[in-house]
Structure 1
């Protein structure tokens, strides 16, 4: 997909890009950043509730509409498949027309889908609603990750992006059952599931706040040569006030009214599959396929595995929730490590930890206490890895293709979540617990090899040139440059 022709502000060594990097580093973290992060986190929290919605209402739909387990599974498959498409399309649109407009559109789409689900008279209409929901929520998370990477300084960028998965993957998955219980308690009866979907339309209110308080990112504006607008956004970030009259004062980026003279850069979304960018896209796609596929396989099969070991369904669900406690801690740890540690170091150590935890569950866990402990440790490392990939992905691409590159990587993970549980299920039927977790351990071995081939980005401008074959810099040296 070809885009507009851009000149030097989108080139890594552009003086204006250096000025923007310096401005963001000097501004640091202000109240404006807190507001932007809070609004995006709320949206991503409801994204997570939406992803869990079919699991929450599934028993009621089976009872009321006579659906089979296959029908319920189909609704989930539609949601995940549509989310993958939504991520890719949203990335393409965001690179062409801006991050802000796509974030608001995705929010409205998944709100519309929730409304259709709430009013659905049958499975067909429900499936249409879930397709719209999936497109919107998949796109919103991809754009949220990109926006936060572009709003923040090199030092704070990892922490800010990591917080998205604290809300979506950590808090969201942990609180989703409580959200469902609250709605079913407040609105009992045969239509309680409809009320759940109505409550999931609340993010529509966020749309007004998004339009009022969240500006376009300065990096995107600079890539479109909108210097004055980029300076206005930087002034709002520095002042801590996102609304009201634009603050007057320092011009963070020089503007002589002329475009910098340099060879024009042709923007093509498909360049993420060519040359140096391809050497980043392919390994990270392999890595996210491995970790997302492993995570969703375990979440899908663990209740069945525990039942096969002789535990009741209610106890199996309770034990699964105990294991999930590690997820929130893993997402929080990734956000903290994003501030202090290189990405590849965190990914390598986390993959080794996940591999060892998987081997423990598959071959050494002989009682429920050890299974629960190893399961919680496994979930910790899984969310540590997933969140760090969210941090890493937008840093690997220049502004002109950042949204699409990030979206494509996350869409690959979504596709793995739809496919790999089928493989894991067959392995469990054939080889039991050892078969499933032996495969997962091997997947994390592949993950480790894949991420070692990607250049390090910690402490660098997201538009800085990266040496794809350079060894990882020591923490002290990298921190000194940030």
Structure 2
């Protein structure tokens, strides 16, 4: 028969993990884990930009228009949404580590299919496969880093994902396009854009062999000894090889009589306890992703339609994407001190101003670049902070599923909304499209007021 101490066991064990993390601090083993995760998401981010970068060449080679380009991103990000939900279900059952290698393998196969696609229809199917891998990769990365660090360092660690992805990845993706198109000329140079991303993806799969499972997941599954070993690896700065004498950071007896962890059920996300969080962050991330992916998809087309050649358009896109890098760095740095809601609200308000400025005041190249950079800065601060905020709302048992569902909603919105944004662009011009995107930021600013504040607090567990 269970006792009151049984129900307290999991919170006690989670407090032991938090105490151990605080005692250890950040070691070279932590840095190795971060590097293994960030290399993968960096190339994921470049892949997410490839449709926009290749758009003008695809249009010239196959004679497709904006709607068909939008469908390629719709296929990609619809699959990203599905991949994130599937990853959330799987990672809460079999662990976080196993998924990372599988996700990148799926991504690599899809990229190769894109490069070899004989028809537009095959390319759409290949983009769907790429999206499955992308979705699982980012969702798993967010959970893993959130579970490897203490409350003091968690915000910065998770924020670094978007430094690598939305910051460096988005900013350098146009440069990658410039290099590829300089090396491989012709209308079908877009094939090399997709194909060359296969090699780094496979390299990262090999590189990640030393990545351990997270102690929080191991402890939640009753594998306390294994969790303690991983913590010792962090403390002794040895992800591989034999360890010295192990310190007993975790007391297995605190959970010896605890009942097995209940399996995660998606209906719990909409229970009285979690539905406010799920709905509000779901709305917020839908608005943020819709704005971001619309910008990524359509800005090269907007610039080439204004008379810039593909190389100039990509260079200007790179300058605007510098705002993404600054935004990701800013979000990672302020996460240690500023409340999540304050950060999200400020970023949304700035996004409203940047969207309206781009749409109605961007009469010169300098202003276009300025407002474009501010727009990207705002949206990446939003995304980075939501990536951090969401895992802090759910206990370990359903953290993967809850976070993945929220991020999946964003991906679905990002996949579908560029179709609407493209239609508004055709009907009402650049001003109308960016007014629409500014409205998304306004809705986001309202939605982020409803979840509970979590800055500086330990990650929650079941009562």
**Among candidates 204, 207, 221, match of residue 206 of structure 1:** 204
CA contact (8 A) 1:359 1:441 kept: yes
Match of 1:437 in 2: 434
The equivalent residue for 1:249 is 246
* 1:340 counterpart SS class: coil
**What is the distance in 2 between the residues matched to 1:134 and 1:233?**
31
Following superposition of structure 1 onto structure 2, how do residues 54-73 of structure 1 map, counting pairs within 5 Å? 54-62=51-59, 70-73=67-70
1:260 aligns with 2:248: no
Find out whether 1:83 has 2:72 as its counterpart. no
Tell me how far apart the structure 2 counterparts of residues 78 and 10 of structure 1 sit (CA, whole Å). Answer: 44
Query: How do residues 336-347 of structure 1 correspond to structure 2 at under 5 angstroms?
Result: 336-347=333-344
Mapped pair 1:45 → 2:42: yes
Contact 1:9 1:222 in 2 (8 A): no
CA distance in 1, matches of 2:403, 2:162: 15
TM-score of the superposed pair, with normalisation by structure 2: 0.90
Whether the 8 Å contact between 1:10 and 1:222 is mirrored in structure 2 is no
Structure-2 residue corresponding to 1:403? 400
Q: How many residues are aligned here?
A: 458
Q: Is the 8 A contact 2:287 2:444 kept in 1?
A: yes
* SS of corresponding position for 2:253: coil
Deviations 1:365-398 (A, max 9, x none): 5544334322222221111111111111111111
Where in structure 2 are the equivalents of 1:442-461 lying within 5 Å? 442-461=439-458
- Cα displacement (A) at 1:435: 3.1
Segments of structure 2 that go 5 or more residues without pairing to the other structure are: none
* Residue of structure 2 equivalent to 1:479: none
Q: 2:174–2:314: 8 Å Cα contact kept in structure 1?
A: no
Q: Which residue does the alignment assign to 1:335? A: 332
Which stretch of the first structure deviates more once superposed, 412-421 or 316-325? 316-325
For 2:147, the equivalent position in structure 1 comes to: 150
| Aligned-partner SS, 1:463 | coil
Distance 1:218 1:443 in 2: 38
Q: Secondary structure at the match of 1:275?
A: coil
Pick from 369, 373, 376 the counterpart of residue 376 of structure 1.
373
Query: Given that residues 79 and 129 in structure 2 are in contact (C-alpha distance below 8 angstroms), is that contact kept between their aligned partners in structure 1?
Result: yes
Gaps of 5+ in 1: 1-6, 467-482
CA RMSD of aligned residues (A): 2.8
Aligned equivalent of 2:125: 128
5 Å-filtered alignment, 1:70-219, equals 70-186=67-183, 192-202=189-199, 203-211=201-209, 213-219=210-216
Equivalent pair of 1:12/1:465 in contact (CA under 8 Å): no
Instruction: Give the distance between the partners of 2:341 and 2:116, measured in 1 at CA.
Output: 46
The residue that corresponds to 1:353 in the other structure is: 350
